Amino acid sequence: MASFKQYRSGVCVVWTDTSDTSAFCKLIAERQAENPVAIALIYYSAHVIDPYDIVEQLTHHCSELRYCGCSTCGEISPDGMQDAGAIAILLPISEFQVLCHPIENILNAGMSNIAQQAADLRVRFEEQHHLSDSDNAFAITLIDGLTHSEESVTAALHRGLGEIGLIGGSAGDNLHFKKTTQICCSKVYSNAAILLLINTSLPFALCTENNFVPTNKKLVVTSADPDTRTVYEFNAEPAAMEYAKAIGVERQELDPNFFASNVVVVRVGGEYHCRAVQRVNSDDSLTFYSAIDTGVVLTVAKTEGMVQSMKNTIEDIEERIGGIDLLMGFECILRKLDARHRNAIGRVEDLYTESNIVAFNSYGEQFKSAHINQTFTGVAFGLPKTRS
């Protein structure tokens, strides 16, 4: 079974909490016929949905549809949070102009090459749509979350895009850490980044939100492999043992719930940025979701007040664009795990439903030139002034 919700801005969201891709894609085709779509952003749970099936079904039901997307760790639909299924965000031609481009083999493409591809796409986008500035444009990137290359790719994209603001999410595979996939107009990729340039007549605001509270506990990385984002030692002791001691648990208790609720942060430019732990390894090393290296000083932090922090962000956006019709984005899977661990998942879900939030759970988020963790990052759309 599949459902849909039409928003006042013209954006439509289609979703399913099952593996029935036929009903899902058929409903997308019906909505496309009702209100022509500039692009469909499609996010799907990797463990229940085959991306090749989505491609086949969309080719059958609506071959003219332009779409792109990636695998996830779950989705946030208009009905709330789901661990298995798919969601499609249909941006109407009446309000959006879109150009998308797959960047393949990001591990070996090189930063200069990636930056040039982004710059070339920007020029083509501006010429194709006769744009004179970037005030009404933004970019989205969907990156393979298992390549350990999000930092370099995001920096390269930012360089190529210039003043165009960038947000994005790292594709997931439901915490299996084996393979993620990206789709773009009838093709399936891995080790890729999908880049979208979007121009809209709607008021919009890019945002990123976290609720880190630093403590006075420090962990100094004394041995690490930056290529694999693995830390072997904190303070010259086995990383897992030292981390467990810092957060007050036994080594054998370490699991994704503890990682989600006991983050470590690094201070850059006066601001704290999360360096989220992905998993503990058999040799007592820790693998991270983002860049890490020997010599980095980390501060243990707590994640508190997620609901109030998100409410504050929503209120700020509403002041900027005069009300939110839809807030679409990318939420780190660790926020979801943390909310469950704290028995706050119901309150978080209620807030997201009331606030018209749709998203997917990611392995990391991108904002401007940075790859970050344990945030909600996205774009909020308001209504055209003529409709207010």
Per residue in 159-199, pLDDT (tens digit) is 999 999 999 999 999 999 999 999 998 999 999 999 999 99
Q: Confidence band (pLDDT; 50, 70, 90) for 134?
A: low
Quick: pLDDT tens for 76-131.
999 999 999 999 999 999 999 999 999 999 999 999 999 999 999 999 999 988 87
Q: Does residue 300 register a pLDDT over 90? A: yes
CA 384 to chain centre: 26
Whether residues 66 and 97 fall in one domain: yes
Residues 61 and 168 in one domain: yes
Domain's final residue, options 303, 332, 353 = 303
pLDDT at res. 269 = 74
3-state secondary structure of 309: helix
Of residues 357 and 323, more confidently modeled: 357
Q: Do 45 and 86 lie in a common domain?
A: yes
CA–CA dist 302, 274 (Å, integer) = 11
The answer to whether residues 235 and 375 belong to one domain is: no
Question: pLDDT tens for residues 43-86?
Answer: 999 899 999 999 999 999 999 999 999 999 999 999 999 999 99
Domain match, 277 and 365 both: no
Same domain, residue pair 134 and 72: yes
Residues 193 and 219 in one domain: no
231 and 293, same domain (yes or no): yes
Strands 165-171 and 137-144, how do they pair? parallel
The verdict on pTM exceeding 0.95 is no
Which conformational region is residue 241 in: left (phi greater than 0), alpha (psi within -120 to 50 degrees), or beta?
alpha
Q: Which of 238, 271, 303 is the last residue of a domain?
A: 303
In this structure, what DSSP letter does residue 252 have? Answer: G
Give the whole-angstrom CA distance, residue 259 versus residue 266: 15
> Of the candidates 260, 280, 303, which is a domain's last residue?
303
Q: What is the mean pLDDT of the chain?
A: 93
Domain that includes residue 93, residue range: 3-208+307-387
**Confidence band for 272, pLDDT divided at 50, 70 and 90:** confident
**Distance from first CA to last CA of the chain, Å, rounded?**
34
Q: How many CA atoms lie within 13 A of 24 on its CB side?
A: 26
- If one counts the domains in the chain, the total is 2
Distance separating alpha carbons of residues 344 and 363, to the nearest angstrom: 21
Residues 180 and 107 in one domain: yes
Co-location of 99 and 14 in the same domain: yes
48 lies in the same domain as 163: yes
Residues 348 and 271 in one domain: no
